[in-house]
Amino acid sequence: MEVYRHEVKYYECDRMGITHHSNYVRFMEEARVDWMDQLGYGFDRMEAEGVVSPVVSVECAYKHPTTFKDVIEIEVRVVETSPLKITFGYTMRAKGKLVCTARSVHCFMENGRPVQLAERFPQLYEAIRELPSK
């Protein structure tokens, strides 16, 4: 899978010129959406078929600041899967430095009820399970 790249915008920085911490959650979402598109089963396709994937939890460990115009390279990987949830891991680097490590946990829902990914989207589930673990 290709690494996702995000160039920090001016409006994403605080008064100190540092990328505001809340933006990293958005960067994770951008990278995750891109990752799913690369896998061939984007969130737009899932949603068109009536399934949404809300965030259950997020955690970030900020290691080094970034600033306006820095390009953050975001590696996305699957850390864990279960019938109802998927956990993504993220490693973010800029200028050769580790800037953030993070995780997000998601469930899958249809009509407001949990669904099992393996049953609802078996091809996607198998594609995820066949990815090399890191």
Lookup: tokens for 127: 């594609």
Burial 109-131 (b: 16+ CB within 10 A, else e): eeeeeebebbeebeebbeebeee
Distance separating alpha carbons of residues 53 and 33, to the nearest angstrom = 11
Residue-range domains of the chain with CATH: 4-130 (3.10.129.10)
pTM of the model: 0.91
Q: Are 122 and 101 in contact (CB under 8 A)?
A: no
Per-residue confidence in pLDDT tens, the chain, 134 aa: 899 999 999 999 999 999 999 999 999 999 999 999 998 888 888 888 888 999 999 999 999 999 999 999 999 999 998 888 999 999 999 999 999 999 999 999 999 999 998 888 888 888 888 876 65
